[in-house]
Amino acid sequence: MTPELIQRLKNCKTLPAIPGLPLQVLQMCRSENADIKKMGDVISKDPTFVAKVLNVANSSFYGGSRHKVVTVTQAITLLGMNSIATLAFCFSLYRDLRRHGAKGFDHNQYWRRSLLASVSGRVIGTWAKVLDCEEIFLAALLQDIGVLVLSETHMDVYGTIMKQADRNHTRLQELEREKIGADHSEVGAWLAETWQLPELLQAAIRCSHDPLEMDVPEEFLPVVKTVAFSGKLADIWCDPQTEQATQEAALAAQSMLGMEFNELETCLDRIANGFLEMSGIFQIDLGNPQEITNILETAKKTLRSLSAGAPQPAAVS
């Protein structure tokens, strides 16, 4: 990023900020004296968040429980403190930041892709046996946070940029670089550093477009590659060109994770089911069940054609 852009970012008075609740919960998780009861007491001050945590604890997407979870303490015990911290961050960000954005900025489009990527990332993290899938869930949600930043710092042009991109994420990145001089992954990484988020999250945001071309610590690679791939999966449901998006995701699955087409197809089924649950928990329209199913079937049909040896288009950089 140019010095001029960095200064413009620093001078912006309306940049997104970390909401208080997740910051407090994250600090408790890092403490050597972390205590489930104390965390429960903090969370219980926010009835809305309590309701969402209980919904998550009882959801099949998070494994559910044979017995209905009815208290915050039960939820923390079942999900783990790191999961609760991640959920606090995600719910609060969505609630507090969804009004950010320039005139013409499509909030629904932004948050829809972010949550689709989060769900996709968690499923793929489970497939890849990544130790902490919650880090992937949060990093996938944050990978496009630079979009919100640029919509604040460049209100005069950003709405037009998004309209011209027409839901094509690669085109959005190109237009940002052309009109602004940097793309949202660079700006998002800058914000993550400003927030003093862990280096792993900073790296995942910075590398969300090209994880194989950037120098990151070896131990970060599983999360970084999974987060980048989560964006490709979200585009299957976001990009108007479903077949093209599926083909690009399939190529990325092989190059980033060594995933075969049949494995990807199985993951897509789990992802689609997760969309329906998380849509209700976050209270955001990720697509009606029929729409999600139709896109899923198109994606699966495309994957089967690829498996049968049908010609593949060149990957879009």
**According to the model, what pLDDT value does residue 63 have?**
67
User: pTM score, two decimals?
Assistant: 0.84
Q: What is the mean pLDDT of residues 23-33?
A: 72
Q: Is the pLDDT of residue 315 over 80?
A: no
Q: Which has the closest alpha carbon to 81: 60, 61, 53?
A: 53
Angle of CA points 165, 189, 182, to nearest 5°: 45
Q: What is the mean pLDDT of residues 22-36?
A: 73
Domain spans, the chain: 19-97
CA distance 128 to 294: 26
Give per-residue pLDDT as tens, 157-204. 888 898 898 888 889 999 999 999 999 999 999 999 998 888 999 999
Give per-residue pLDDT as tens, 135-146. 898 899 899 999
CA distance 102 to 180: 15
**According to the model, what pLDDT value does residue 267 have?**
95
Give per-residue pLDDT as tens, 81-97. 777 777 777 777 777 66
Q: Is the pLDDT of residue 317 over 60?
A: no
Q: What is the mean pLDDT of residues 211-225?
A: 86
**According to the model, what pLDDT value does residue 32 have?**
67
Give per-residue pLDDT as tens, 38-85. 888 888 877 877 888 888 888 877 766 667 888 888 888 888 777 777
**According to the model, what pLDDT value does residue 144 have?**
93
Q: What are phi and psi of 275, to 5 degrees?
A: -55, -45
CA distance 190 to 267: 32
Q: What is the mean pLDDT of residues 20-47?
A: 76
Contact 197, 101 (CB under 8 A): no
**According to the model, what pLDDT value does residue 245 have?**
94
- The letter for the amino acid at 256 is M
Query: pLDDT higher for 65 or 302?
Result: 302
Give per-residue pLDDT as tens, 251-292. 999 999 999 999 999 999 999 988 888 877 777 778 788 999
CA distance 2 to 182: 8
Give per-residue pLDDT as tens, 109-130. 888 899 899 999 999 999 999 8
**According to the model, what pLDDT value does residue 100 have?**
55
Q: Is the pLDDT of residue 29 over 90?
A: no
**According to the model, what pLDDT value does residue 313 have?**
46
Furthest C-alpha separation in the chain: 57
**According to the model, what pLDDT value does residue 156 have?**
83
**According to the model, what pLDDT value does residue 103 have?**
58
Q: What is the mean pLDDT of residues 198-225?
A: 88
